Amino acid sequence: MMGKLALITGGTRGIGAAIAQRLSRDGYRAVVTYHGNDAAAQAFTRDHGIPAYKWDVADFDACEQGVREVERDAGQPVEILVNNAGVTRDAMLHKMTPEQWRTVLDDDLSSCFNMSRAVIDGLRLRGWGRIINITSVNGQKGQFGQTNYSAAKAGMIGFTKALALESACKGVTVNAVAPGYTATDMVAKVDPALMERIVAQIPVGRLARCEEVAHAVAFLVHDDSGFITGTTLSVNGGQYLS
């Protein structure tokens, strides 16, 4: 019997890659999307045997077409969606350009709508589904220099709650995972002196591992988590408590 098909956006590196590998080990058929880095995507597929599809999750039509292509190739419908893709364009608001604002809102928040819209009809029709939205601790507490990113990630939490209410009677759960600072390529670009100050604010005294975030996703995807919906699971080492 084939495992359920799980689609993870932005899944060739960092947290997304860890989620894809974890779900694959748990018996799901994992498929990932990416947008820019062909070399990283090819290496990921070669190393892990997980197919990677290239499209822009900020493009509504591309998401619709991409999901249909994935389903045709797999011979089964997407039943699990993990909205993980995202970017940062950090700047203080008084220096932020409209392009920096739009890029982050489109790639981080509008992509969540685009991808969910492409699968939601099928999930409702079949009476089972899981949507997991990867938000951020900075969407919960805000962050200096990240009005765009914090707004997008906070928006994902509101989106999660509303879609959970719409979908609950159809057997579809919608949840968010809010990682704290995690050891990824994105975080590696942060100035070391700033990162030292950030880690000092995390009670467990370290960054998260990508595998720890993936574990939270695997928990919410599981059949036994069907009574959990509309929630945000924080994986932040105690940095922000709500």
3-state secondary structure at position 101: helix
Q: List C-alpha distances in Å: 209 to 82, 102, 182, 212, 236.
A: 18, 29, 6, 5, 10
- Which neighbouring-strand residues pair with 91? 146
Assess contact for 182 and 208: CB atoms under 8 A: yes
DSSP 144-191: TTBHHHHHHHHHHHHHHHHHHHHHGGGTEEEEEEEE-SBSSHHHHTS-
Assess contact for 46 and 99: CB atoms under 8 A: no
- Which neighbouring-strand residues pair with 5? 29, 78
Where would I find the beta strands (DSSP E) of the chain?
A: 5-8, 29-34, 52-54, 78-83, 129-134, 172-179, 232-235
What CA dihedral angle connects 103, 138, 176 and 99, to 10 degrees? -10
* Catalytic option among 28, 34, 149, 181: 149
Assess contact for 219 and 163: CB atoms under 8 A: no
Assess contact for 31 and 8: CB atoms under 8 A: yes
- Does 34 qualify as catalytic in the annotation? no
User: Which residues are identified as catalytic?
Assistant: 149
